[in-house]
Amino acid sequence: MSCPLCDTPGGTLLWQDDLCRVVFADEPDYPGFLRVILNAHVKEMTDLAAADQQALMGAVLATEAALREVMAPDKINLASLGNVVPHLHWHVIPRFADDPHFPDPVWGAKRRSTPHAAPADLGAQLATALNRRLGRARETE
């Protein structure tokens, strides 16, 4: 069975190490919607060794901090669902009072049609903030 998070980066790569990667999700209504994706095909957090659980959550928290620094959202949503793609990944979603779904979940019915504005160099700003928190990104082969 094919897994889209094993077969592709899962978005535009911003940062990566041996354990996980941080990518821009392809969510046009949500600039700054990031995913922290485990590099190995694992379904659940409890399938990981304790050290890997802590390292992955450290990456999730660093991603949240980078989004808060760069975008100053009204709220951050964290979600690890995996019902459709059972490959361990976390959604880290900056939320704004003017985003299309606020205060509802991003997967709900839209309340507004215009996404929150974001700077053109958002990816570069987030990559810099992630590198400062997580260490220099490593290229993969």
Peptide bond into 103 cis (omega under 30): yes
Sign for the CA dihedral angle at 105, 108, 109, 114 comes to: positive
Query: In the chain, what are the domains?
Result: 4-134 (3.30.428.10)
12 phi, psi to nearest 5 deg? -80, 120
Task: Identify which of 41, 102, 54, 20 has the alpha carbon closest to the alpha carbon of residue 93.
Answer: 102
Instruction: From first to last of the 141 residues of the chain, give the pLDDT tens digit.
Output: 789 999 999 999 999 999 999 999 978 889 999 999 999 999 999 999 999 999 999 999 999 999 999 999 999 999 999 888 999 999 999 999 999 999 999 988 899 988 888 888 999 999 999 999 998 765 543
Give helix then strand counts, H and E, for the chain: 3, 5
On whether the pTM is more than 0.85, the answer is yes
